[in-house]
A and B are shown apart, each in its own frame.
Chain A
Amino acid sequence: MPHDHHDHDDFHHDGMSPSGHPYRADNDTPLTYWQVMEIAIRELLIDKGIATASEIAVQIDTMDARSPADGASVVARAWTDPDFKGRLLQDASAAARELGFDIGALRLIAVENTADIHNVVVCTLCSCYPRNLLGLPPDWYKTRAYRSRVVKEPRRVLAEFGLTLPLSTRVRVHDSTADMRYIVLPARPAGTESLSEEQLAALVTRDSMIGTGLPKSPA
């Protein structure tokens, strides 16, 4: 029988699917307190006519459509247009809107990496992140390990991300403790003089805008 062949058993012993992914347990457990609260509030908003189910779905779609590619195009513009870069560093929210991004009420500050300065962003108190430009944060950004460690030993944390900085580079950690959100403007990689703005944007990674990485080098 096909279900009894040896490889299949091995996959089960490893806890991995044939394509190499761990199996995820079915979520048959009871709802948590906060899951119940979310459902209750959503249903109340709909019952009381404050929002419709489709309006809520549209908001979820809008947030899901935001991605680091939006931030990457802001960075690429700043690399190619010095005036825009000036405006970005002065008022990053206005600069992002200038490129047509619907960032809502986001109050954004751009911090610039230079030859001597490396910036990295965290929210120690919760998980503040420029979602309205970059989309949802990576899971690690919200972990207690990242949040507590990057303010105390940023160099060690960055080294774990593969980014070892010399002591001559000043590390600036930005803790998003209140109303501002932050995006790192990474330094433009060497050897990119001939690239178009679109090609430059493809080099800008999510992590390079959080500060836990650098942009990719041109192929």
Chain B
Amino acid sequence: MAERVRVRSMMPPGHVRTPAYLRGKVGEIERSLGAFPNPEELAYRQKATARPLYRVRFTMAEVWGAEAENPDDTLDAEIFAHWLIPLDD
């Protein structure tokens, strides 16, 4: 997984654990957490595949733009790998 990632901006129906306010935003992997059962399957009692989970750190400037209280404050969230697009630059 790249250091920098963009959260996929898809809006699938049903139970997902990726907050809408972070979709499309670019952050950095803070740490890798290992693999966890995919909640999108777990919620419907399907056989849940283990998916890699990451803590991703975003700046408030990235998340809220000019409305950020303090652009350098940060927000960390746990995002599954299938929601992340690696950015190589």
Whether B70 pairs with A180 at a CB distance below 8 angstroms is: no
For B78, list chain A residues within 8 Å (CB): 175-180
For A173, list chain B residues within 8 Å (CB): 73-76
CB contact under 8 A between A124 and B21, given known A178-B36, A180-B78: yes
Kindly identify, within residues 166 to 192 of chain A, every residue whose CB is under 8 Å from any CB belonging to chain B: 167, 170-180
Binding site for A on B (CB under 8 A): 17-19, 21, 33, 36, 39, 53, 55, 63-64, 67, 69-70, 72-80
Assuming A155-B73, A173-B75, what are 4 further A-B pairs, CB within 8 angstroms? A125-B19, A152-B67, A156-B69, A178-B36
For B19, list chain A residues within 8 Å (CB): 124-125, 175, 177
A151 to B67, CA, bound (A): 12
CB contact under 8 A between A172 and B64, given known A178-B17, A180-B55: no
For B77, list chain A residues within 8 Å (CB): 174-175, 177
Chain A: how many interface residues by the 8 Å CB criterion?
20
For A155, list chain B residues within 8 Å (CB): 69-70, 73
Interface of A is mostly: loop
Does A154 sit at the interface, judged by CB under 8 A?
yes
Whether B53 pairs with A178 at a CB distance below 8 angstroms is: yes
Q: How far is the CB of A67 from chain B (nearest CB, A)?
A: 26
For B75, list chain A residues within 8 Å (CB): 151, 172-175
Closest B residue to A150 by CB, please name it: B75
A151 to B25, CA, bound (A): 14
Whether B21 pairs with A179 at a CB distance below 8 angstroms is: no
For B69, list chain A residues within 8 Å (CB): 152-156
A22 to B70, CA, bound (A): 40
Closest B residue to A182 by CB, please name it: B76
A171 to B70, CA, bound (A): 9
